[in-house]
Structures are given as structure tokens and as C-alpha cells.
């Protein structure tokens, strides 16, 4: 066991996988940093410090620092994967998925299917997402709801360093395309990370708090928001069963429904705006499959139907927070 | 010309197969049995074959929506392709992709693509994979006078140059991007290869309706790229005999244009003229190939017609390897 | 100003239409705690205790003890603090009895046939302006339940009031106080099971039951250990019935006893009973039961077989499978047989439904389940409702024979005695001991004549004496 930040867990995982399998390669902007400049390579060590030192160890063929060309980056990852490699492509900000969406949506997601199951595209796309750093509308979005809806893709959101290591290991080894979402505000969060090699299977939610009055379903950055809300409510004798989905595609329906059948009340917490979001999707699934168990309508705590605002007060009003989650839990309990 | 008799026959056979395949499809589609969109390659055979005759199974190509020619030139099974176009469970892609998405990764054919320009970055990626392997293999992105305007093409060219990827950008200029002429839509329509040169890549030009010109130019280009000099491009001047898609009334053609290009720019006729005049092959040799090809296509269509259709349970298969 | 809320006649079970206030346990004007017994309300079947969901004051009693009122009628007014007469009068004036506060959607009363409405509708204090931002269904519900929507915050777009908003507003304050209080731990205390690929619930169950997941095979999604896999390893809970012989449990069953007394007195006085007696030889039945239990691994009792025979006989003689309602006789095509069960709380007769379709071991299972519920005092209305015939067996007490009292509205009841060894003449003229049971069939002569009853008993006897007929054919 070691205490480390999520970014360190990610870096260590990539390094370990690249050592283990010579087919693993990386592509992305400023993965190395400083290429073609007076400051020389590694002048910044990778923008999110998740690729520090990898180029020195593995060289230019396997660590490809790219121009600013999202379509080319993701498209190359796709082509390299079809040709037999296991590329890890980084999108510096998840919001840039708009620039290269065709390569993800029409290409990578569909290769295996439209080629009759005779190809595989084991690409892992790492996206840096989320609000909380006043990065403004075009650099703060959650994005994963849209990608969850696309058949052919798997969508993963680690919430702790330990989960980041296990889930990224699984992603790189998975022969299907994986979108791996790293929240920028979680990079610096420390946690215990087990030593050794382990992969966490997809579609396997993590139980974060154990309770019997209300179920809370969430993922990513919102997990810690829900933990704080649950701990505060526990002081009042209200116990919440908090589930971290970990992967929105595939979804651990069984864990969610088991919990809702026990509590009869559920709160979905999601950093995305509500329309066609993961929160709405899971709420509908619960209403469809566990209606008889529900004692109150599913409560949604989401961002509003707006872009992410810049100013501190606005962004803070935009995001779900522990008080908002607590209110939702109370609303679920108050329903009669 | 340093091609042996066998190589010449092989090249002719490939081109004749493509021509027969496409011509037959034109007739069958008109009968209404084939679903969806089909884009025929007839007329451009010399381009595909002139390039792919140099390639092995572990060289990669990425194609366009007009991909039958590239698939056949790369060695994808004729009958499997016909069955795929007919939407059969025994098709190359089990009826999941259809005409626009035929692929055979084992033969280095990384897919025809329905999105114009999408293949170029994928070819760069395949080329990066070749570079990692260090065996001198290459990846080829086929595109046209339309795709050369797509942003992805530019990104791919730039990326190929800066990463020194062994990627070859082929621009088949058949003078129509969908229903529009390059003179209107392509800012440097008289010199598409020049765009590649602007990115710092070496570019060649050749007559895409002449097998030998294409083949010889490609030999030089491939030697250059396989040697590790980075990417290259080639612009081929060629013609498509049919519309953008089957069903296209082609009102944009000039008076007598179709007749003229069939008469003057038919690569099969040009090939025949050249080899017979140079006494490398006789008409009879080529006629025999024509006859065998014709029979092969007949058999392919007959088998495709009677092959089993996919069943509803196949809808959910192969979305993932494991979910 | 105190918040007043109505205490209306509750609705228990789909068929309940009215109830009788047996007794008020709290005086008018008195305060009560959460969980306090407010009143006892009788229905046809059971006397119910109504407990307070939250603390309050019973500021006005409207329905007196002994009054019978329809479901939804106002019984009393409750408040969360002292209220003066004016407030109470105002409240009473605007109260509209509603169909019991079942879910607004699911239990909504079927729309009545449209009637001509009086031109001048009585102006209600709660009339809603025509331009209020409220959905049509919500408006209707608000009017029915007398909900004041003026101050209601609608959850819809631009504050539109929905059916759900009105439904919620019309209900007494939630028992949110029922949850909460002292701090609890929400720690995931089975983190030790993290290494196992098992669903969160599976881990929870394993932890609670001390099950080692190492040996458990997963059959859940993607091969994960799921709840079912773990439950398969859980040992059935030890019998938790309190051992007999301990200090007697004092349960205030007087009211139930009262109800039983009242009904049976009524039955004896108003139904013209007549009694038919017969004996059946049960050697074959006893042997069949022994073999069946062995073969099927079950534990069907003789009574379970008798219930089965009764059911088949009722189908054979449908004129005996009736209920009497005033001047009408109801004939049934299925045999819903009430089985008399003695419990600590008194005699109850829950129903084994469709017994003609059940094999004896299915009847055994059903009876056992009903007996368990009866002993726990948890029989529901559905369990007791209906039934056209009762089987009452005192054989286990060694009673040779007896005459049972019919349970109205049923047409008949069968009293079953104990198995006796009797010397009897055999077919060949020799003598041998036989096992016999005596039956007494009590019939309601208003609906069942002697011949009908006799045919029933004959059919029953024939079935019992050829017990292979008791198993479903084919």
C-alpha cells in the first residue's frame, strides 16, 4: 500500500503497462512537453504530469507528442489499434471531444460491429474533464453522458487513486475501446493505493457508504460530494447507501437495483446538466425496473441546463454540493 | 517495364475483376435487390491496382466510400465482398457493414469508410504502428479530390510529417467530389499534390488511367517511404465511369462526356493496347482472363443471391468483444 | 396558529367500504405521542388499532364510538399544537371527505357517470381560479381533497402545480421523524471483502451471515458473485417461535374475540342449520399420505388431503359451493376453501384459494404459510376474504365428531373428527379393524337442501376412499 495522488497512480499505471506490453503506446499533445523548443524535451513534463518521464524511458515511437490535431490524434490511435497496437490517446480537455467526435463516434465505436466482428480496436482515450477550477464553459464540461449513450464504447470514471490504477489497468488491457475520464480536481487527491498488479472489472460499482434509508448513485468527482453529504446525514441518524458507479457503460444495474429495492428511495448525483444525462438515464432505469420498490420519486441533483460559468460564485452555484445532496435526501424521505 | 508475364497477367486480372465486379453491380442494383448506398469504382482500376500490386498483407490501406476497387486490389475475397454487399450473414462483414464499410484486417485492409476524409488520420496511425515495428511497412490513405478539402486530411498530413510516419497520401482526382467539380470546390484544383508538398512532404503525380505510369511512379515513391524518409503523396488523374452513388442521374456530366472517357481513358483498353503492341501478351491471353473473371463474378452473384440472410439475434453481436 | 389536519376513516384492503369506530383511546383535547394508540376501528373481519404517526393533539372528535362511517369520512381533527374553536370550525367547514388517501394515481376512484350538476355550485372556500397554473388532473384532485393550492409551490415549469404536488400537500406530514434521531454509522464495514468480485449487496449479506466468499461461485453479471449465490449459502434461520411454556404473552384480543362472538352468534341465530353425518374409511388415505410424503419429501397432513377432497367434491357438487347473500345465492366455479386454524389469538379461517387446482402438497404449503401468518397475527384481508366453504378439523384433539357453526356468508361447513379404529364387516363377510373419520356437514337450509348436502358427503367419501383421485391427473 502507498499513499499517492490520483495523477501519480495514473502515471504509474501507464508506466507499468508500457513496460509489461511493448504494444502499448501513447499519443497526445504535450505528453512530453517542450518538443522543438529551446527549453528542450520534458520542459514541462506533460501538462497534467501524467506522462512525466515516459518519453525518456520508451522513446519517440511509443510516446508520440502530437501537434494540436484532435482528429489526427484520435484517428491515429484508431488506425494504430486496427494495425495491432494498444494506443493510449489523451484529450487534454474532454471538451475537445467535439473536435474529434467523428473518429470516436463513427469510427472507433463502430469498427468491430461494421467489420463483422473481425477487427478489434483496443484504444484507451483518456479525457480530462470537469468543473471546479474556473476553467469556463469550454474547458469544464463533463461530456461522459453523451459518450455513455454510444454503443461500442465503454465509459469509465475513477473516483479515487486506487480505483484509477485498477480501472486504467483494465482499460488498457481491454480489447474494446475505452473512454477513461480523469477529473482535473481529483488529480491532486491522495489515497491509499494497493501495491502490485490488479485490474478492476468494468460494470462493478463500488459501495462507498452503507445505509438503509436512501440510495445515492453517483460517479467521478461527485462521489466525494456524496460522501460528505452521507456523513453529515449519518449524524442525524439518516443512513445513505452510496454507490460509486465507476463505469457508466457498462452499468452495474444489479448493484443499483439491489440497493433501491432495499431503501425504496434514490438520489442521483451528476455533474452534467440534466437532459439526457447519466442521472436521468439511471433514474429512468430505476423507475422502469424497480417502480414497485419506490416509496418516493427518484431525486436528481445535477448541474443546471446551462454551460459551465466562469466566475467563482457562479461555478459554485452550478455544481452539485453536499447541501444540495442533503436536501434531495430529505425530499426523498419526506415523500408520503 | 520490368514486369514478368505472370505479373502482367496478375495485374490485368485484378483490374478486370474490379471492372467486372462493378459493372455487374451496376446492373444488379438497378434491379432493386441490393439495399443501401453503393459507390462504384469502375474506371479507376489502374490507380488501385497500380498501387496495391506493390503491397503485402502487412502493408495497410484505408479506403473511402468508393472502396470496392481498393478492397479487391488488396486481395479481399471477391465472393465474400459480393455477399456483404448483398447483406448476407456470410459476407465479409457478416452483413453488418455493407458496401461502404468492407474491411479485412488480416489482409491489411483497414476498412472502407463512409465519412469523407476519416481514413487519413487512421492511416497515419497504422503507419506509426509500422514505424514502431521497424520492418519497412507502410500505410496508405486513399482519398480523392473531395477528401483533400477535409480538415482531417490536413491534420493527418501535418502529423505524418512531424512524426515521420511511413504514410502515403493518395489523391485520386476523378474530377468530381459528389456532384461538384474541383474547379469550384478545391482551391488548388490543378495541383492537389501541391498541398502535400506545402506540408513539407514529397509528392508525385501520375496518370491514374494508365496502370504502368501509376505502377512505376509508385515503385519510386514506395522505395522512398520504406527507406524511412517520412510520408509522401501521389496525385492520380483518373475517371469514374458511374455516378457518385448508384442512382445518381449524373446531370452534371458534359455532353458526350461518359462516352468520351470510356473511349479514351479506359485503363483496361490502354493496358491491352500497350502489352499487345509490345508483344508481352496476346489478346487471347487477356480474353481468357476476361472470361474467367466474368465467370467468377457470375458465380459470386449467384452465391450472394442464395446465401443465408442474417438473423435478428445477430443485431446485438459484436458490439463489444465482452461487455 | 396550529396546523390542522383531518383524521379520516382509513381504507384497509380493496373491498373495505366502511368501518366502525369501536373506541377512542385518546380524549378530545388531549395530547399524544408518536406511536400512541388513538382509536380502534372495526371492520367485517378485524379490529384495527390506529397509532399516531407523529405527536399531536386530538382537538376535536367528530365520529363517536360505535358510529359506522364510510371510508374517507372525517373522524376527528388533529393539530400540532393547541387550536381554538374558530380554527376548528373553519377546518370542519371546508373538509371534503375523499376516497381514502391511497396513491393519487393508482387508487384513484373510477370516474362516476357524469351527472347533471346543480347550476349554482356551492362556493367552496377552496375553489381554484380558472387561470391558476395547475394541471387539469391536479385541479380535480385538489378540489376533491380540499387542498388549498394558493400557497402551493408547483414543481412544474414556471411553478405549474402537478397532480403529485397536490397529492403530497393533501397528506399528513410525513413520518420523516420516524427516520433519524441518534447518529448512525455508515462505514462500509465489509471492506475486508473488497478482494472478491461480488456485488455490494452480496458482500453485505455475506458479512451479515459470516459467509466466506472464497468458496462461492458467481452466477451474476460477468460472472460476479451476486445476492442469490450468497443466499444459497445462508443456513435457514433457526426456528424463532417462542418456546411454549414460557410466561403467557398477554395480548389484548378482547376486541377480536368480541367480533368473533358477535358474528357467530348472528350465524347461529339467523341461519337455519341442518346437519348431515357420514363416516369414511381412511386406511387407503393414510397409506397414500405416507407414501406421498416419502416420495415427494413433503409433510402434507391428513387435513391437507381432506381439504383437497373437499375441493374436488365441491366441484362435483357445485350446489354446495355457494354463498348466501340476502335473497341471492352466489355459485362459485372454483373451490376457495377456508381452513379453520386455532391460534393464540383465537379461531381464524384463512382461505386456500383454488384448492381444486392444487395438489395435496401444494395445499400443505399454502396452509402452512397461512398458519404461520395467523400465528403471527399478520393475516391480511386478502387472506381471509372470500371462501365458500370451511373445513374445521378437531381430530388432533381426539374429538370423535362435532357440529360446526357456519361462517356466513358461506353455505356450509364440514366438521372433521379424529381417526378411530373400528371393527367393520369386510366385503367377504369377515371382520377387520378399519380407520375411520366421522364428518358432520352443517348446511344452510336456505340455499342447500338435504339431497344436495347428502350428495356432497357421498362425493367426499368416495374421494377419500379412493385417494389416488386426490392427485392431479396427467
* Cell triple for C345: 389469538
Q: How far apart are CA C221 and CA A254, in angstroms?
A: 8
Half-sphere exposure of B66 (CA within 13 A, CB side): 33
Q: How far apart are CA A214 and CA A297, in angstroms?
A: 12
pLDDT digits (tens, 9 = 90+) for A259-301: 999 999 999 999 999 999 999 999 999 999 999 999 999 999 9
Q: What's the burial of A38, exposed, middle or buried (CB within 10 Å: 0-12/13-18/19+)?
A: exposed
Three-class DSSP labels, chain B:
CCCCHHHHHHHHHHHHHHHHHHHHHHHHHHHCCCCCCCCCCCCCHHHHHHHHCCCCCCCEEECCCCCHHHHHHCCCCHHHHHHHHCCCCCCCCCCCCCHHHCCEHHHCECCCCCCCCCHHHHHHHHHHHHHHHCCCCCEEEEEECCHHHCHHHHHHHHHHHHHCCCEEEEEEECCCECCECHHHHCCCCCCCHHHHHHCCCEEEEEECCCHHHHHHHHHHHHHHHHCCCCCEEEEEECCCCCCCCCCCCCCCCCCCHHHHHHHHCCHHHHHHHHHHHCCCCCHHHHHHHHHHHHHHHHHHHHHHHHCCCCCHHHHHCCCCCCC
- B194 pLDDT band, cuts 50/70/90, is very high
Whether B105 sits inside 8 A of A119 (CB atoms) is yes
Q: What pLDDT score does C100 carry?
A: 42
- Nearest chain B residue (CA) to A72: B121
Share of chain C above pLDDT 90, in %: 31
Q: How far apart are CA A64 and CA A55, in angstroms?
A: 8
> In B, which residues are within 8 Å of A115 by CB distance?
93, 96-97, 101, 103, 105, 111
Q: What pLDDT score does C250 carry?
A: 67
Give, rounded to a whole angstrom, the gap between the first and last alpha carbons of chain C: 72
* Cell triple for C78: 388533529
> In A, which residues are within 8 Å of B126 by CB distance?
79-80, 82-83
Whether B115 sits inside 8 A of A79 (CB atoms) is no
Angle between helices B45-52 and B5-31 (to 10 degrees): 140
| pLDDT top residue among C366 and C377 | C366
Q: What pLDDT score does C237 carry?
A: 55
Is the pLDDT confidence value at B91 over 70? yes
pLDDT digits (tens, 9 = 90+) for A84-143: 999 999 999 999 999 999 999 999 999 999 999 999 999 999 999 999 999 999 999 999
A239 → closest Cβ in C171, C175, C186: C186
pLDDT digits (tens, 9 = 90+) for A300-309: 999 999 999 9
Whether C168 sits inside 8 A of A201 (CB atoms) is no
**Long-range CB contacts (within 8 A, 24+) of C372-376:** C374/C341, C374/C343, C374/C345, C374/C348, C374/C350, C375/C241, C375/C343, C375/C344
Cβ within 8 Å of residue A84, ≥6 positions away: A23, B129
Q: What pLDDT score does C102 carry?
A: 47
C181 → closest Cβ in A237, A240, A255: A237
Say if B125 is an interface residue toward chain A (CB within 8 Å).
Answer: yes
Most confident region among B69-83, C166-180, C294-308 by mean pLDDT: B69-83
State how far residue C192 is from chain A, nearest Cα, in angstroms: 12
DSSP state at residue A293: G
Q: Bridge-partner residues for C413, per DSSP?
A: C390, C442
Of all helices (H) and strands (E), which one includes residue A279? helix A278-289
Beta strands in C185-224 (DSSP E): none
Give which of C285, C444, C382 is closest to C45, Cα–Cα. Answer: C382
pLDDT digits (tens, 9 = 90+) for B22-43: 999 999 998 988 988 899 999 9
Q: How far apart are CA C59 and CA C76, in angstroms?
A: 8
Phi, psi of A40 (to 5 degrees): 75, 170
Give, rounded to a whole angstrom, the gap between the first and last alpha carbons of chain A: 47
B94 → closest Cβ in A73, A102, A117: A117
Of all helices (H) and strands (E), which one includes residue C277? strand C273-281
Is the pLDDT confidence value at C114 over 70? no
| Catalytic residue set of A | 139
Which of A195-204, B154-163, C310-319, C321-330 comes out lowest in average pLDDT? C321-330
pLDDT digits (tens, 9 = 90+) for C406-431: 988 899 999 999 999 999 898 899 99
ipTM, two decimals: 0.89
Is the pLDDT confidence value at C354 over 80? yes
Of all helices (H) and strands (E), which one includes residue A146? helix A144-148
Asked if C281 contacts C452 with a C-beta cutoff of 8 angstroms, the reply is no
Asked if A255 contacts C222 with a C-beta cutoff of 8 angstroms, the reply is no
Asked if A66 contacts A47 with a C-beta cutoff of 8 angstroms, the reply is no
Say if A41 is an interface residue toward chain C (CB within 8 Å).
Answer: no
Question: Alpha-carbon torsion C382, C385, C391, C393, what sign?
Answer: positive
From residue B137, give the alpha-carbon distance in Å to each of A74, A118, B51, B228, B320.
21, 22, 14, 10, 29
- B10 pLDDT band, cuts 50/70/90, is very high
B125 → closest Cβ in A60, A77, A116: A77
Q: What's the burial of A328, exposed, middle or buried (CB within 10 Å: 0-12/13-18/19+)?
A: buried
Asked if C387 contacts C410 with a C-beta cutoff of 8 angstroms, the reply is yes
Q: Where are the alpha helices (DSSP H) in C271-359?
A: 283-296, 302-316
Q: What pLDDT score does C283 carry?
A: 93
> In A, which residues are within 8 Å of B114 by CB distance?
106
Say if B322 is an interface residue toward chain A (CB within 8 Å).
Answer: yes
pLDDT digits (tens, 9 = 90+) for B149-175: 999 999 999 999 999 999 999 999 999
A80 → closest Cβ in B104, B125, B156: B125
Phi, psi of B169 (to 5 degrees): -100, 115
Instruction: Sheet containing C37-42: give its strands across.
Output: C47-51, C37-42, C18-24, C68-70
Say if B90 is an interface residue toward chain A (CB within 8 Å).
Answer: no
Q: How far apart are CA A251 and CA A202, in angstroms?
A: 8
Is the pLDDT confidence value at B101 over 90? yes
| Catalytic residue set of C | 445
Q: What pLDDT score does C90 carry?
A: 81
Which of A123-132, B211-220, C338-347 comes out lowest in average pLDDT? C338-347
Q: What pLDDT score does B113 carry?
A: 93
State how far residue A23 is from chain C, nearest Cα, in angstroms: 27
Average pLDDT over residues C282-287: 93
Average pLDDT over residues C38-44: 83
> In A, which residues are within 8 Å of C184 by CB distance?
211, 234, 237-239
Cβ within 8 Å of residue B11, ≥6 positions away: B3, B49, B50, B53, B211, B215, B271
> In B, which residues are within 8 Å of A69 by CB distance?
121, 155-156, 158-159
Q: How far apart are CA A192 and CA C291, in angstroms?
A: 63
Asked if A31 contacts A51 with a C-beta cutoff of 8 angstroms, the reply is yes
DSSP string, C220-251: SGGG-B-HHHHHTTSPPPPP-PPPTTSSPP--
Give which of B37, B61, B122 to mutate to test A binding, by max A Cβ within 10 Å: B122
Share of chain A above pLDDT 90, in %: 94
DSSP state at residue C88: H
Amino acid at each position: 500500500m502507498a499513499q499517492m495522488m490520483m495523477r501519480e497512480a495514473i502515471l504509474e499505471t501507464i508506466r507499468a503497462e508500457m513496460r509489461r506490453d511493448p504494444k502499448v503506446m501513447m499519443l497526445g499533445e504535450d505528453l512530453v512537453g517542450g518538443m522543438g523548443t529551446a527549453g528542450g524535451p520534458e520542459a514541462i513534463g506533460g501538462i497534467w504530469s501524467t506522462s512525466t518521464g515516459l518519453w525518456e524511458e520508451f522513446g519517440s515511437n511509443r510516446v508520440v507528442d502530437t501537434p494540436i490535431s484532435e482528429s489526427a490524434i484520435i484517428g491515429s490511435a484508431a488506425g494504430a489499434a486496427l494495425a495491432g497496437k494498444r494506443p493510449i490517446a489523451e484529450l487534454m480537455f474532454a471538451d475537445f471531444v467535439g473536435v474529434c467526435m467523428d473518429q470516436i463516434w463513427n469510427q472507433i465505436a463502430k469498427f468491430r460491429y461494421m467489420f463483422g466482428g473481425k477487427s478489434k480496436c483496443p484504444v484507451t482515450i483518456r479525457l480530462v474533464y470537469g468543473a471546479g477550477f474556473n476553467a469556463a464553459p469550454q474547458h469544464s464540461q463533463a461530456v461522459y453522458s453523451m459518450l455513455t449513450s454510444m454503443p461500442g464504447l465503454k465509459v469509465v470514471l475513477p473516483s479515487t487513486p486506487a480505483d484509477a490504477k485498477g480501472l486504467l489497468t483494465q482499460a488498457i488491457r481491454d480489447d474494446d475501446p475505452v473512454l477513461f475520464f480523469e477529473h482535473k480536481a481529483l488529480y491532486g487527491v491522495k489515497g491509499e493505493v494497493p501495491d502490485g498488479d490488479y485490474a478492476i472489472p468494468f460494470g462493478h460499482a463500488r459501495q462507498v457508504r452503507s445505509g438503509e434509508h436512501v440510495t445515492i448513485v453517483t460517479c467521478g468527482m461527485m462521489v466525494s460530494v456524496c460522501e460528505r453529504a452521507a456523513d453529515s446525514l449519518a449524524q442525524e441518524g439518516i443512513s445513505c447507501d452510496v454507490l460509486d458507479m465507476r463505469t457508466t457503460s457498462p452499468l452495474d444495474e444489479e448493484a443499483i437495483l439491489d440497493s433501491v429495492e432495499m431503501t425504496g428511495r434514490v438520489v442521483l448525483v451528476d455533474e452534467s446538466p440534466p437532459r439526457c444525462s447519466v442521472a436521468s438515464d439511471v433514474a429512468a432505469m430505476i423507475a422502469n425496473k424497480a417502480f414497485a420498490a419506490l416509496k418516493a420519486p427518484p431525486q436528481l441533483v445535477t448541474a443546471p441546463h446551462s454551460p459551465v460559468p466562469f466566475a467563482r460564485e457562479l461555478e459554485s452555484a452550478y455544481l452539485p454540493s453536499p447541501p444540495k445532496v442533503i436536501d434531495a435526501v430529505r425530499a426523498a424521505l419526506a415523500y408520503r | 517495364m520490368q514486369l514478368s508475364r505472370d505479373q502482367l497477367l496478375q495485374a490485368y486480372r485484378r483490374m478486370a475483376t474490379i471492372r467486372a465486379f462493378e459493372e455487374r453491380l451496376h446492373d444488379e442494383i438497378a434491379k432493386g435487390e441490393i439495399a443501401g448506398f453503393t459507390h462504384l469504382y469502375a474506371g479507376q482500376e489502374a490507380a488501385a491496382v497500380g498501387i496495391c500490386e506493390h503491397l503485402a498483407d502487412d502493408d495497410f490501406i484505408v479506403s473511402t466510400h468508393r472502396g470496392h476497387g481498393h478492397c479487391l486490389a488488396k486481395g479481399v475475397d471477391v465472393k465474400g465482398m459480393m455477399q456483404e454487399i448483398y447483406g448476407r450473414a456470410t459476407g465479409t462483414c457478416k452483413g453488418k457493414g455493407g458496401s461502404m464499410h468492407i474491411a479485412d484486417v488480416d489482409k491489411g485492409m483497414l476498412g472502407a469508410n463512409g465519412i469523407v476524409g476519416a481514413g487519413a488520420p487512421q492511416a497515419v496511425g497504422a503507419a506509426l504502428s509500422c514505424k514502431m515495428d521497424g520492418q519497412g511497412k507502410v500505410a496508405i490513405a486513399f482519398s480523392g479530390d473531395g477528401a483533400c478539402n477535409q480538415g482531417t486530411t490536413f491534420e493527418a498530413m501535418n502529423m505524418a510529417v512531424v512524426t515521420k510516419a511511413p504514410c502515403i497520401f493518395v489523391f485520386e482526382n476523378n474530377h468530381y467530389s459528389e456532384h461538384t467539380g474541383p474547379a469550384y470546390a478545391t482551391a488548388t484544383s490543378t495541383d492537389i499534390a501541391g498541398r502535400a508538398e506545402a506540408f513539407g512532404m514529397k509528392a508525385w503525380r501520375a496518370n491514374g488511367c494508365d496502370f504502368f505510369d501509376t505502377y512505376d511512379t509508385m515503385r519510386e515513391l514506395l522505395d522512398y517511404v520504406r527507406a524511412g524518409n517520412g510520408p509522401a503523396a501521389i496525385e492520380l488523374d483518373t475517371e469514374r465511369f458511374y455516378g457518385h452513388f448508384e442512382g445518381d442521374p449524373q446531370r452534371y456530366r458534359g455532353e458526350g462526356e461518359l462516352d468520351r472517357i470510356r473511349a479514351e481513358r479506359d485503363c483496361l483498353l490502354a493496358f491491352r493496347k500497350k502489352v499487345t503492341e509490345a508483344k508481352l501478351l496476346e489478346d487471347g491471353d487477356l480474353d481468357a482472363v476476361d472470361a474467367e473473371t466474368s465467370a467468377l463474378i457470375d458465380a459470386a452473384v449467384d452465391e450472394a443471391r442464395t446465401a443465408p440472410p442474417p438473423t435478428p439475434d445477430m443485431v446485438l453481436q459484436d458490439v463489444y468483444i465482452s461487455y | 396558529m396550529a396546523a390542522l389536519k383531518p383524521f379520516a376513516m382509513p381504507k384497509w384492503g380493496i373491498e373495505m367500504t366502511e368501518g366502525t369506530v369501536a373506541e377512542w383511546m385518546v380524549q378530545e383535547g388531549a395530547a399524544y405521542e408518536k406511536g400512541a394508540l388513538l382509536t380502534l376501528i372495526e371492520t367485517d373481519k378485524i379490529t384495527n388499532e390506529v397509532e399516531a404517526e407523529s405527536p399531536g393533539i386530538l382537538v376535536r372528535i367528530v365520529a363517536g364510538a360505535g358510529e359506522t362511517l364510510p371510508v374517507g369520512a372525517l373522524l376527528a381533527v388533529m393539530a400540532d399544537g393547541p387550536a381554538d374553536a374558530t380554527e376548528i370550525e373553519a377546518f370542519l367547514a371546508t373538509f371534503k371527505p375523499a376516497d381514502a388517501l391511497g396513491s393519487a394515481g393508482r387508487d384513484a376512484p373510477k370516474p362516476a357517470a357524469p351527472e347533471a350538476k346543480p347550476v349554482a355550485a356551492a362556493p367552496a372556500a377552496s375553489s381554484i381560479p380558472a387561470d391558476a397554473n395547475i394541471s387539469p388532473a391536479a385541479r380535480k384532485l385538489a378540489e376533491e381533497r380540499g387542498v388549498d393550492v394558493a400557497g402551493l409551490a408547483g414543481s412544474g415549469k414556471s411553478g405549474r402545480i402537478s397532480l403529485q404536488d397536490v397529492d403530497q400537500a393533501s397528506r399528513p406530514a410525513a413520518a420523516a421523524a420516524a427516520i433519524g434521531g441518534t447518529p448512525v454509522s455508515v462505514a462500509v464495514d465489509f471492506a475486508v471483502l473488497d478482494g472478491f468480485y461480488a456485488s455490494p449487496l452480496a458482500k453485505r449479506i455475506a458479512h451479515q451471515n459470516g459467509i466466506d466468499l472464497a468458496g462461492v461461485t458467481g452466477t451474476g453479471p460477468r460472472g460476479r458473485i451476486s445476492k442469490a449465490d450468497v443466499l444459497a449459502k445462508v443456513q435457514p434461520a433457526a426456528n424463532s417461535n417462542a418456546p411454549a411454556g414460557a410466561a403467557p404473552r398477554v395480548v389484548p384480543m378482547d376486541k377480536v374475540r368480541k367480533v368473533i362472538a358477535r358474528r357467530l352468534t348472528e350465524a347461529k341465530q339467523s341461519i337455519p342449520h341442518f346437519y348431515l353425518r357420514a363416516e369414511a374409511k381412511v386406511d387407503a388415505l393414510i397409506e397414500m399420505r405416507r407414501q406421498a410424503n416419502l416420495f415427494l419429501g413433503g409433510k402434507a397432513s391428513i387435513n391437507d388431503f381432506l381439504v383437497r377432497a373437499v375441493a374436488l367434491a365441491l366441484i362435483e357438487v357445485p350446489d354446495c359451493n355457494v354463498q348466501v347473500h340476502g335473497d341471492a345465492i352466489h355459485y362459485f366455479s372454483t373451490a376457495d376453501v377456508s381452513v379453520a386454524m386455532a391460534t393464540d389469538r383465537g379461531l381464524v379461517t384463512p382461505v386456500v384459494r383454488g384448492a381444486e387446482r392444487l395438489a395435496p402438497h401444494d395445499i400443505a404449503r399454502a396452509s402452512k404459510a397461512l398458519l404461520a401468518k395467523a400465528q403471527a397475527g399478520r393475516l391480511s384481508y386478502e387472506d381471509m376474504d372470500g371462501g365458500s366453504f370451511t373445513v374445521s378439523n378437531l381430530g388432533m384433539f381426539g374429538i370423535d365428531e362435532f357440529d360446526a357453526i357456519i361462517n356466513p356468508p358461506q353455505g356450509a361447513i364440514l366438521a372433521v373428527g379424529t381417526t378411530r379404529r373400528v371393527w367393520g364387516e369386510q366385503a367377504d363377510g369377515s371382520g377387520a379393524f378399519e380407520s375411520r373419520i366421522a364428518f358432520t356437514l352443517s348446511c344452510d337450509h336456505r340455499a342447500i337442501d338435504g339431497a344436495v348436502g347428502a350428495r356432497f358427503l357421498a362425493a367426499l367419501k368416495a374421494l377419500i376412499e379412493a385417494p389416488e383421485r386426490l392427485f392431479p391427473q396427467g
